[in-house]
């Protein structure tokens, strides 16, 4: 078996032990004579896996009883719609902080809901400069960037902009943006370290970066927000429905949640999030150090304090060299390094399951490539 060094942005690398456990249990889950995929989602075997995944997540992030943990479907993209759908009401408004492509998308998806409800959504602050193709984001927002409305029903931010490689609170706490409950899209930096969940009204994340396969969306939501949610929606779109049914209102992504459980067991084996954070910081430090040690050749456009620990973006002197970098790195067994099509360049996504060995292989390749082409 040969496994590549996987730098895909999501779906992304999964921890090998989580996959191996799945392989071992694939055909016969714990002597039941069938795989977990073939079990009823209402049966004892599956329910044990489901509840174990929830309790492992609660344990790793120290999530208090003030919050519900849900496993939904539809990706983070569906949360772009579900959040305003549930929380906006006529005459009320919600704030959005814009720091990259995904927070922009969250705002644009909220607009039709606001129009339908005679409510409002607004950009309370942006770190974007330029327009159209020239638009760029190179840093997270500070308190000075945001004019928050304390009466807003929520303030939305994206903690890690996967496309732009811009992350909040890399070396400290999240800024305080007024009094409204903070709703955070943490799709690409959920579970990379311990965070203070009590700073948030709601956190959501597509699982396919740090937590598991695609098809599962993790939602951590404060009870009062669930209770305050609208009741005039189809049941499937109300958070309370999923809370009341422990995310088993309809058939969930059972195999996806099973893999999430395996990933969480692996996290625990790594010394929990403290152990995971230490390795993640070392990985990012090594990669940024390599970029900065070739100043005429590699360039990271992101401000030092906002450089993502999860998605490391950088440019080479020309697009032709970037193409060559991607194709030669692939031949060297380094996969998924092409930057997002909207911004170009190179992006190394180095989520939890991408190990130090992958970083050493990449930095070695980068040094050699700079020597040969610089
Ligand atoms: C930060 C962020 N938000 C939202 C999304 C959309 O997620 P999904 O494809 O699960 O809807 C992504 C996907 O890459 C992302 O990186």
The number of C-alpha atoms within 13 Å of 201 and in the hemisphere containing its C-beta is: 21
Separation of 211 CA from ligand 1 center, angstroms? 13
pLDDT at 132: 82
> What local confidence, expressed as pLDDT, does residue 134 receive?
83
Spot the catalytic one: 189, 192, 209, 338: 209
| CATH number attached to the domain at 272-373 | 3.90.1150.10
Cβ(34)–Cβ(234) under 8 Å?
A: no
CA of 212 to the centre of ligand 1 (A): 14
Q: Which atom of ligand 1 is nearest to the CA of 80?
A: 4
Question: Residue 233's pLDDT is what?
Answer: 98
Q: What is the pLDDT of residue 182?
A: 98
Using CB distances shorter than 6 Å, the residues near ligand 1 are 10, 75-77, 102, 158, 162, 185, 187-188, 206
Q: Phi then psi for 356, rounded to 5 degrees?
A: -60, -30
Atom of ligand 1 nearest to the CA of 161: 1
- At 337, is the secondary structure helix, strand, or coil? coil
Same fold flag, 21-268 and 272-373: no
CB 173 within 8 A of CB 197: no
Residue 135 annotated among the catalytic residues of the structure: no
Relative to beta strand 202-206, strand 217-222 is antiparallel
Please tell me what DSSP assigns to residue 361: H
Residue 102 falls in the annotated catalytic set = yes
d(CA 222, CA 106): 20
Question: Domain extents for the chain?
Answer: 21-268, 272-373
Q: What are the phi and psi torsion angles at 33 (to 5°)? A: 80, 10
**What pLDDT does residue 327 have?**
97
Nearest CA to ligand 1 atom 1: 187
Q: Does domain 21-268 have CATH number 3.40.640.10?
A: yes
The CA distance from 116 to 310, in Å, is 36
CA distance 14 to 347: 18
Q: What is the mean pLDDT of each run of 10 residues along the chain (374 residues)?
A: 93 98 97 97 98 98 98 98 98 98 98 98 97 90 98 98 98 96 98 97 98 98 98 98 98 98 97 97 98 97 98 98 98 96 95 98 98 96
Buried b / exposed e over 91-110, threshold 16 CB at 10 Å, is ebbbbbbbbbbbbbbbbebb
Question: Looking at residue 37, what is its pLDDT?
Answer: 97
């Amino acid at each position: 078996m040969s496994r590549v060094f996987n730098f895909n942005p999501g779906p992304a690398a999964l921890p090998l032990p989580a996959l191996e456990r799945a392989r071992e249990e694939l055909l016969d889950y714990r002597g039941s004579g069938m795989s977990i995929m073939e079990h009823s989602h209402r049966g004892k075997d599956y329910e044990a896996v489901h509840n174990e995944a929830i309790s492992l997540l609660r344990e790793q992030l120290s999530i208090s009883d003030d919050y519900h943990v849900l496993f939904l479907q539809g990706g983070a993209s569906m949360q772009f719609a579900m959040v305003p759908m549930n929380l906006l009401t006529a005459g009320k408004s919600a704030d959005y902080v814009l720091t990259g492509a995904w927070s922009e998308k969250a705002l644009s998806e909220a607009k039709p809901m606001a129009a339908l409800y005679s409510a409002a959504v607004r950009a309370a602050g942006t770190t974007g400069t330029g327009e159209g193709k020239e638009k760029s984001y190179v840093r997270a927002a500070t308190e000075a960037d945001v004019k928050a409305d304390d009466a807003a029903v929520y303030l939305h931010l994206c903690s890690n902009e996967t496309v732009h490689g811009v992350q909040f609170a890399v070396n400290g706490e999240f800024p305080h943006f007024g009094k409204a409950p903070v709703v955070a899209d943490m799709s690409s930096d959920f579970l990379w370290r311990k965070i203070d969940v009590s700073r948030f009204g709601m956190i959501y994340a597509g699982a396919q970066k740090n937590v598991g396969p695609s098809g599962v969306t993790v939602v951590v939501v404060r009870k009062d927000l669930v209770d305050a949610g609208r009741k005039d929606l189809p049941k499937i779109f109300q958070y309370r429905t999923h809370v009341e049914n422990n995310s088993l209102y309809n058939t969930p992504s059972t195999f996806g949640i099973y893999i999430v459980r395996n990933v969480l067991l692996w996290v625990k084996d790594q010394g929990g999030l403290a152990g995971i954070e230490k390795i993640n910081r070392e990985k990012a430090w090594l990669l940024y150090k390599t970029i900065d040690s070739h100043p005429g050749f590699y360039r990271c456009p992101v401000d030092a304090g906002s450089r993502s620990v999860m998605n490391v973006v950088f440019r080479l002197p020309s697009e032709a060299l970037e193409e060559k970098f991607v194709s030669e790195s692939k031949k060297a067994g380094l996969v998924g390094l092409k930057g997002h099509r909207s911004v170009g360049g190179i992006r190394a996504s180095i989520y939890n399951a991408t190990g130090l060995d992958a970083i050493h292989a990449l930095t070695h390749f980068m040094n050699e490539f700079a020597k040969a082409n610089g």
